[in-house]
Amino acid sequence: MPNAPAESFPLIAAIDLGSNSFHMVLAKADNHEIRILERLGDKVQLAAGLDDERQLSEEAMQRGLDCLRRFAQFTNTLPEGAVRIVGTNALREARNRAVFIRRAEEILGHQVEVISGREEARLIYLGVSHSIADTPGKRLVADIGGGSTEFIIGQRFEPLLRESLQMGCVSFTQRYFKDGKITPARYAQAYTAARLELMGIEQSLRRLGWEDAVGASGTIKAIGLTTKAAGLSNGEITVEGLAWLKRKLFKLGEVDKIDLDGIKPDRRGIFPAGLAILEAIFDACDIQRMSHSEGALREGVLYDLLGRHQHEDVRERTLSAFMERYHVDVDQAARVEAKALSALDKVANDWGLTDDWHRELLSWGAKVHEVGLDIAHYQYHKHGAYLIEHSDLSGFSRQDQQMLALLVRGHRRNIPKDKFADFGEEGVKLMRLCVLLRFAILFHHIRGTQSMPEVQFKVGDNSLEIVFPEGWLAANPLTLADFEAEAEWLKRIDLTLSVR
């Protein structure tokens, strides 16, 4: 069943598990707009807890979980579909992120998604574009996070270019200002490192061009407020303001001595790194002036959630473009999708496949199961799985892509039982979805050249019986042979298939 409209929920919420801060916004969706009711945030500095092996420390995890317990007072009473939680760079990097995510989900009662850098950029732009004046020209948006910095060039509500670089105010603080000393040499190291990161995207940004530059992070806001308090700007960031601030930091020499209007005490430690990154952005992109947007990732997540519930789901547009790019037979995909969803309706209760995401995932899997054919017919299910897992699919979390890739990987021949087991308790349900997808593909093996009958299903925990009209299988020996071969494959995952 489709999700309930977002506006039918009394409240909706977005939680951003950032590398520097965790934030939550609570809002009401009203007439296609978002009205923010509550904002909560805490400087968790999750990225500071990453060691050289990319393992999150227990201490950093506890800081995050303590913060989430406060957020949970708001989210625990909200229904499924009313809350979206996204993790960014620190969780993208952490090898033990599954440990933290499991504990976070137990506290919050909702699923945590880890999103790619470019997906983060898309959501940031969505939040910015809904928070500032709707001007016709192109704009450059930069968001300096704790572990990564996102860049977007967009026009009105559409991003045209999205990039994410591995530089952030927490990670650069750990690297260049760990003991709190601020020297011209250390600052220069941080600035140079940022310029080196920017070299890979400078030409792409300049080639596309923009009229206005907008900043969308706490670091950029703090710099604007500080230069405004000093009488150097009206809240915008300027080249002159950056130069003044840099001289001021060199004079102070230590982060503990930073006591400037506009910089909160909990931001002092990461401020020099953020300033060095922003100066590098200004120089690389030849920016003279940058305004600030209050809206960013969290607001973008809310608007994306609203779009999903109002049938403006970016994921559907993404898959349509993906299918077109890889020349998918859309008629066959539609036949397989319809049959797979029809089968799901008949077995959902018995097999525990009643959640919205079960239906969504099966639908997506049916649409894209043949994308690998554009690479080669031999092992095309593996080619397709690789494309889905490693492509930039707007609107999809990493887990979405991994689960979808696994359905496509398992849609023919051997089912990789161990890979399904990696998803823990959900792995069993994923495998059942895969079985339904395989059924629909075999059912339409003839690819629409023959009318197909209605069938019935009888299921047990480890069995599936498909009942065709009497005499139909005998008259269609190719289909019978397909299902007899399928029964042998399904034995390998301890599932008994019978047809009659």
pLDDT above 60 for 214: yes
Beta strands in 64-174 (DSSP E): 83-87, 112-114, 138-144, 149-155, 158-165
CATH code of 199's domain: 3.30.420.150
Helix, strand, coil distribution of the chain in percent, nearest 5: 55, 15, 30
Residues 106, 131: Cα–Cα separation, whole Å: 33
What pLDDT does 2 receive?
36
This prediction's pTM: 0.80
Percent of the chain with pLDDT over 70: 97
Q: Which of 307, 336, 365 is the last residue of a domain?
A: 307
- Does residue 456 fall inside a structural domain? no
Beta strands in 293-356 (DSSP E): none
- Say if strands 138-144 and 212-215 run parallel, antiparallel, or are unpaired: parallel
Q: Are 281 and 194 in contact (CB under 8 A)?
A: yes
**Between vectors from CA 462 to CA 461 and to CA 463, what angle results, nearest 5°?**
105
What angle do the packed helices 356-368 and 398-409 form, to 10 degrees? Answer: 60
Q: Are 242 and 282 in contact (CB under 8 A)?
A: yes
Which residues have C-beta within 8 Å of that of residue 253, sequence separation ≥ 6?
Answer: 181, 182, 183
Does 397 share its domain with 337? yes
- Does residue 120 fall inside a structural domain? no
Does 149 share its domain with 202? yes
Does 33 share its domain with 182? no
CA distances from 466 to 74, 346, 429, 481, 482 (A): 46, 11, 19, 14, 13
SS3 406: helix
What pLDDT does 310 receive?
62
Q: Which of 242, 258, 293 is the last residue of a domain?
A: 293
pLDDT above 80 for 196: yes
Q: Torsions phi, psi of 26, nearest 5?
A: -110, 135
For 418-443, what is the mean pLDDT? 94
Tokens found for residue 73: 């007072």
What pLDDT does 4 receive?
46
Query: What digits encode the pLDDT tens for the residues 263-315?
Result: 999 899 999 999 999 999 999 999 999 999 988 999 999 999 887 766 567 88
Query: What digits encode the pLDDT tens for the residues 28-87?
Result: 987 667 888 999 999 999 999 999 999 999 999 999 999 999 999 999 889 988 999 999
Distance of CA 383 to the CA centre of its chain: 22
What angle do the packed helices 184-198 and 239-252 form, to 10 degrees? Answer: 140
For the chain, the domain total comes to 3
- Does residue 325 fall inside a structural domain? yes
Distance of CA 194 to the CA centre of its chain: 24
Query: What digits encode the pLDDT tens for the residues 6-32?
Result: 456 778 999 999 999 999 999 998 766
What pLDDT does 309 receive?
63
Q: Torsions phi, psi of 41, nearest 5?
A: -160, 155
Does 144 share its domain with 232? yes
Which H or E element spans position 291? strand 289-292
Does 222 share its domain with 343? no
What pLDDT does 30 receive?
73
Does 198 share its domain with 287? yes
User: At 138, which amino acid appears?
Assistant: K
For 105-130, what is the mean pLDDT? 94
Return the DSSP state at 56: B
Residues 273, 265: Cα–Cα separation, whole Å: 15
For 147-173, what is the mean pLDDT? 95
Does 402 share its domain with 439? yes
- Does residue 124 fall inside a structural domain? no
Query: What digits encode the pLDDT tens for the residues 368-393?
Result: 999 999 999 999 999 999 999 999 88
Residues 458, 472: Cα–Cα separation, whole Å: 18
Q: What is the band of 465 on the pLDDT scale with cuts at 50, 70, 90?
A: very high
Q: Residue 89 is part of which domain span?
A: 11-115+300-307
User: At 104, which amino acid appears?
Assistant: A
Q: Are 165 and 151 in contact (CB under 8 A)?
A: yes
Percent of the chain with pLDDT over 90: 83
Average pLDDT in the chain = 92
First-to-last CA distance in the chain? 30
Tokens found for residue 483: 């299902």
Distance of CA 222 to the CA centre of its chain: 27
Is the model more confident about 133 or about 217? 217
CA distances from 432 to 41, 115, 142, 348 (A): 40, 26, 43, 10
What pLDDT does 450 receive?
77
CA distances from 286 to 190, 234, 280 (A): 19, 20, 10
SS3 362: helix
- Does residue 460 fall inside a structural domain? no
- Does residue 489 fall inside a structural domain? no
Q: Which of 428, 449, 470 is the last residue of a domain?
A: 449
Q: Torsions phi, psi of 412, nearest 5?
A: -150, 160
Query: What digits encode the pLDDT tens for the residues 216-231?
Result: 999 999 999 999 999 9
Q: Are 325 and 373 in contact (CB under 8 A)?
A: no
What pLDDT does 3 receive?
45
Residues 305, 138: Cα–Cα separation, whole Å: 25
What pLDDT does 29 receive?
81
Does 221 share its domain with 279? yes
What pLDDT does 65 receive?
97
Does 162 share its domain with 245? yes
Does 284 share its domain with 320? no
CATH code of 106's domain: 3.30.420.40
Residues 395, 301: Cα–Cα separation, whole Å: 10
Tokens found for residue 366: 């049916």
Does 270 share its domain with 166? yes
Q: Torsions phi, psi of 330, nearest 5?
A: -70, -30
For 408-417, what is the mean pLDDT? 95
What pLDDT does 399 receive?
87
Residues 40, 322: Cα–Cα separation, whole Å: 37
Beta strands in 353-462 (DSSP E): 456-460
Does 356 share its domain with 412? yes
Q: What is the band of 93 on the pLDDT scale with cuts at 50, 70, 90?
A: very high
- Does residue 268 fall inside a structural domain? yes
Q: Are 274 and 325 in contact (CB under 8 A)?
A: no
Q: What's the number of CA atoms in the CB half-sphere (13 Å) around residue 339?
A: 27
User: At 366, which amino acid appears?
Assistant: A
- Does residue 40 fall inside a structural domain? yes
